[in-house]
Structure 1
Amino acid sequence: MRGHGRVAGLPEWDRCAVMGVVNVTPDSFSDGGRFFDATTAVKHGLDLVAQGADLVDVGGESTRPGAARVDEAEELRRVVPVVRGLASEGVAVSVDTMRASVAERALAEGALLVNDVSGGLADPAMIPVVAEAAAPFVVMHWRGFLEGPNVRGVYADVVSEVVTELRARIDAVVDGGVRADRIVIDPGLGFSKDAEHDLTLLAHLDRLADLDRPVLVAASRKRFLGRVLASPDGAPPPARERDAATAAVSAIAAHQGAWAVRVHEVRPTADAVRVARAVAGARTATGAGTTEGAL
């Protein structure tokens, strides 16, 4: 993949950025209820920054398979005070929402980035709001809410199809007024994909470079890692026991040029992306063509 990318309207880092997750929800798959109160959520966000997060992604609605949607008023109640509190402390805040009204309020309170897992498909008002605010926007590969047949997508060639569908979505978002240099793409690991699809996408992140946009990889604690780490009887470890595996994915993504990785447990990933950066720097310093000592 070509470099880590630059997103207009956001700070620039010389390595893969780390996006820490703050779920202000009672039902997220890995940490639901832990940071449900605004004061606790703000403190957690500040702790993530202290551990090495470059951005903090605040969400008030779970997107796990089968999760019930919260109403607009409740999502606003959950998200707005946390965004306000973190932004007032100088934190670079992303808002994780599919609702234009929530994105608009969060941007007004100091959020810098809108992370919409539907890429603007869930709410027709989202793209006009983002365009009007000139905000950076994450466009994730999405095939609908994770219920019924959408929980498991069917693909003949998952990499080609994800690239093609993301390209179409980028075009639609740009046509809606969002500047191309403010768009980030996300392959949507775990969304309408099974473990094999997720692993294949990670193995071919370089193919996303064809879209010429910075890439966000959100693999943290996801189901496919549970599958990889399953015991001999097939039982996956609990979500919160997948952080070492998440850091491994972060190192792989950083090595392949991802712009950012989104994680629940920041410190291991912050270390991983810095090691990846150091190795890339050493390779550049000694010459990419050097083969002495190759494995």
Structure 2
Amino acid sequence: MPPSPDPKRRALGKGLESLLPSLKAEAAPPSTGKPLEIPVGLIDRNPFQTRTTFDEAKLTELAQSIAASGVVQPIVVRVLPGDRYQLITGERRLIASKQAGKATIPAIVREVSDEQAMEMTIVENLQRADLNPMEQARAYHRLSHDFKMTQEQMATRTGKDRASVGNFLRLLKLPETIQARVEAGDLSFGHARTLLGLGSPEQIASAAQKVMALSMSVRQTETYIHGLMNPESRPGKLEKQQIAEAGQDPNVHEAQTRLQRSLGLRVKIEDKKGKGKVIIEYANLEDFDALLTALNAQPTE
């Protein structure tokens, strides 16, 4: 019969545990749906996270809110070997909790596979509004590539329409340098989608540089790209006759066309024997500022 444990040793062990509390959280029951308080130091980052950047100002605001009121919505984790956990959703809340100096965070434990964890992470991120266009595009690509989802299935899971899913996926056809500009916010989703109308990566890169240099609006960009995709050739004999009958010199008409392509705005030249005026139409202040930039004038404040 084995000897009974030394009561002094038991007491010593108990005393050490009270002086040096273990970081181990209580054993997590399988998917109870009830949040547990888990030490933040035991939670590993999500390797399937599609978000690559975080707004530091918003993180600071969230940390201040958590410091004052705690975490309102629990994060979701799964159990790892070695009494550790892996984050599934709620990375901003976890980071902000650490910034707020919180020792623990409320978390719901789920029993899920690698594939289920990745799918949950991607879908949860896509349902948020603060992913940049390229992060969304890559997230949809992972759902398509890793989970063989159709665009219709992705739209249903994320609450988006199918056309939007397709448009985001198309962004991955942009040259990497332009993708970086979209991710940095120098080009919007609307700009990027319009640039895709051009054929080659070289054309896209060249047009994107001009769009950014002139701070073109999406509408201006659409006009500019349309002009590049449908270049008007030098007027032929029949067209010259039609222009002449309309009272416009063919050379003036060509100059008018070139100005429209260059500015991305509607231009009209009224010429009478070498004298006249150039009328440039703009729809809003963005168009006007872009025009002033193109003319090397000072944009409006």
TM-score bracket relative to the smaller structure: under 0.3
Higher relative contact order (CA 8 A, sep 6+): 1
Q: Which has the larger radius of gyration?
A: 2
Higher helix share: 2
Q: TM-score, normalised by structure 2?
A: 0.23
Q: TM-score, normalised by structure 1?
A: 0.23
